Amino acid sequence: MSTKRLDELNAILANAECLVTQQQLNVALDSMAEAITKDLQDKLPIVVCVMNGGLLPTGALMQRLSFPLEIDYVHATRYGMEFEGDKLEWIKFPQVDFEGRTVLVVDDIFDQGHTLEAIIHWFENNGAKEVYTAAVVNKLHDRKVEMRPDYLGLDVEDKFLFGYGMDYQGFFRNLQGIYAINQ
Ligand SMILES: O=P(O)(O)OC[C@H]1O[C@H](OP(=O)(O)OP(=O)(O)O)[C@H](O)[C@@H]1O
Ligand SMILES: Nc1nc2[nH]cnc2c(=O)[nH]1
């Protein structure tokens, strides 16, 4: 890749607005982990990371949970504007046998909610006993599905976000804060 691309990406980050700091994320993750522990510590849950965005949030929550659980991941992504109902593009299905089990699905953002809603339905229709969901950020707008995640960290403005799991053109999922683009 060209240095022009590197310069472009560095400029995006330099001009971006930090909406959520690492410290705010840590406080939110602590309280999410506390609530999850209260609800799930006796249920031997399977914690399912939704790749790619769920990678950092799942890791951060795992570090805060000290009861017996299993970990798995799915990779499911929306079809963009053609998305309808339960239609997700599934790139990877879970491996652990979740029949009759409690599942906790972890993602980075609850935006319109189609992704988590469809994943919940998929696990329920395929034999999970119960499905909980967690997302670190909740984007504030009124274009959402009806369901809400069981565990939500922080509310954020209705802007295109990146960092802490969320990408800008494939980059910046690694950032320890959440940013909005200033064009
Ligand atoms: O609430 P929604 O409106 O459904 O949007 C949220 C989903 O969008 C992003 O995933 P995306 O499909 O972009 O894939 P990615 O995780 O690989 O970035 C994000 O990680 C959530 O899974
Ligand atoms: N990177 C990114 N992915 C999303 N998926 C749903 N909303 C967003 C967003 O604001 N940013």
Q: Is the pLDDT of residue 21 over 80?
A: yes
Q: Give the pLDDT score at 89.
A: 87
Task: For residue range 66-109, list pLDDT tens digits in order.
Answer: 999 999 999 988 755 444 545 688 999 999 999 999 999 999 99
**Exposure string (b/e) for 91-125, b if CB count within 10 Å is 16 or more?**
eeebeeebeebbbbbbbbbbbebbbbbbbbebbee
Q: Give the pLDDT score at 96.
A: 97
Q: Give the pLDDT score at 80.
A: 52
Indicate the pTM of the whole model. 0.95
Task: For residue range 112-166, list pLDDT tens digits in order.
Answer: 999 999 999 999 999 999 999 999 999 999 999 999 999 999 999 999 999 999 9
Query: In angstroms, rounded to a whole number, what is the distance separating the alpha carbons of residues 142 and 117?
Result: 16
* Distance of CA 94 from the midpoint of ligand 1 (Å): 17
* Distance of CA 77 from the midpoint of ligand 1 (Å): 6
Q: Give the pLDDT score at 83.
A: 44
The whole domain housing 138 covers 1-181
Collapsed DSSP state (helix, strand, coil) of residue 155: strand
The count of structural domains within the chain is 1
* Distance of CA 81 from the midpoint of ligand 1 (Å): 13
| Helix (H), strand (E), coil (C) string for 33-87 | HHHHHHHHCCCCCEEEEEECCCHHHHHHHHCCCCCCCEEEEEEEECCHHHCCCCC
Domain with 29 in it: what CATH number?
3.40.50.2020
ipTM: 0.98
Q: Give the pLDDT score at 182.
A: 84
As to burial, measured by CB atoms within 10 angstroms (0-12 exposed, 13-18 middle, 19+ buried), residue 130 is: middle
Overall average pLDDT of the 4-19 stretch: 97
Q: Assess contact for 143 and 161: CB atoms under 8 A.
A: no
Atom of ligand 2 nearest to the CA of 112: 6
Q: Give the pLDDT score at 77.
A: 84
Element spanning 9, H or E: helix 3-15
Q: Give the pLDDT score at 79.
A: 57
Question: Does the beta carbon of 108 sit less than 6 angstroms from any atom of ligand 1?
Answer: yes
Query: In angstroms, rounded to a whole number, what is the distance separating the alpha carbons of residues 64 and 69?
Result: 12
Q: Give the pLDDT score at 78.
A: 75
